[in-house]
Chain A
Amino acid sequence: DTAVSQTPKYLVTQMGNDKSIKCEQNLGHDTMYWYKQDSKKFLKIMFSYNNKELIINETVPNRFSPKSPDKAHLNLHINSLELGDSAVYFCASEREGGDEQFFGPGTRLTVL
């Protein structure tokens, strides 16, 4: 079974639309993350979330919002998509006090 899964794998949409990317982990981890990898391949943390707190990277626009229906899921909602949002988005998880993050396969978002 895949430890961290994301859907969809590819997402193509128009500017101004609202979209969501789903992430699920079956590892029983407490903390989940979203990262963005841009066209220059730089990987940057966007959010970290556990059942206690949400940490938001200050550079992330408020059009992006993570939503966690339960401990195993952390979905990423994006409103009013812009061209610059085109990137690969990776979800990851880690157990509390752990030493290793597990990453999903990524979602390639293309905004036209």
Chain B
Amino acid sequence: DAKTTQPPSMDCAEGRAANLPCNHSTISGNEYVYWYRQIHSQGPQYIIHGLKNNETNEMASLIITEDRKSSTLILPHATLRDTAVYYCIVRPFGGGADGLTFGKGTHLIIQP
């Protein structure tokens, strides 16, 4: 079972920042927070991951609270192409044999 909880859906206006929350209150010390997204009918796509420090890449920023019990994925300037289901996943780094355990995710809808 997924160790994360996310709101089932969110709306965001195009051009605005989309902030997607995730709770992972039972995260273990060796587990990282990963974010993936699935655009309709496509395979999931990796976005970003982090352990305890905030992370940023060309796609998004990840803010992890100091107690590591929750995090927020930020898409700084959302576009229509960012409409997708976003999954927050906790997993040991280099989990290898352990596949990804997907929850229900958040369906983010970017409004024009």
Q: Does chain A bind chain B?
A: yes
- Chain A residues proximal to chain B, CB less than 8 Å: 4, 31, 33, 35, 41-45, 48, 50, 53, 55, 57, 90, 92, 94, 96-106
Please, how many residues of chain B have a CB less than 8 angstroms from a CB on the other chain? 22
Is there an interface contact between A106 and B97, defined as CB atoms closer than 8 Å? no
Our count of residue pairs bridging A and B at CB distance below 8 angstroms stands at 61
Is there an interface contact between B99 and A96, defined as CB atoms closer than 8 Å? no
11 contacts across the A-B interface (CB closer than 8 A): A31-B97, A45-B99, A92-B99, A97-B94, A97-B96, A99-B49, A99-B93, A100-B46, A101-B44, A101-B46, A106-B42
Q: Which residues of B contact A35 (CB under 8 A)?
A: 99-100
- Chain B residues proximal to chain A, CB less than 8 Å: 32, 36, 38, 41-46, 49, 85, 87, 93-94, 96-102, 104
Q: Which residues of A contact B49 (CB under 8 A)?
A: 99-100
Is there an interface contact between A101 and B100, defined as CB atoms closer than 8 Å? yes
Q: Which residues of A contact B96 (CB under 8 A)?
A: 31, 48, 50, 94, 96-97
Q: Which residues of A contact B38 (CB under 8 A)?
A: 43
Closest to A88 in B: B41
Binding site of B, secondary structure by majority: helix, strand, loop or mixed?
A: loop
Smallest CB separation, B47 vs chain A (Å): 9
Q: Which residues of B contact A31 (CB under 8 A)?
A: 96-97
Is there an interface contact between B45 and A106, defined as CB atoms closer than 8 Å? no
Report the bound CA distance from A44 to B101 in whole Å.
Answer: 7
Report the bound CA distance from A61 to B25 in whole Å.
Answer: 32
Report the bound CA distance from A62 to B86 in whole Å.
Answer: 31
Closest to B41 in A: A106
Closest to A44 in B: B102
Q: State whether A42 and B104 are in contact (beta carbons under 8 Å apart), knowing that A100-B46, A104-B43 are contacts in the complex.
A: yes
Closest to B99 in A: A45
Q: Which residues of A contact B101 (CB under 8 A)?
A: 45
Q: State whether A48 and B41 are in contact (beta carbons under 8 Å apart), knowing that A42-B102, A42-B104, A43-B102 are contacts in the complex.
A: no
Smallest CB separation, B109 vs chain A (Å): 15
A96 interface neighbour in B41, B85, B94, Cβ under 8 Å: B94
Closest to B46 in A: A100
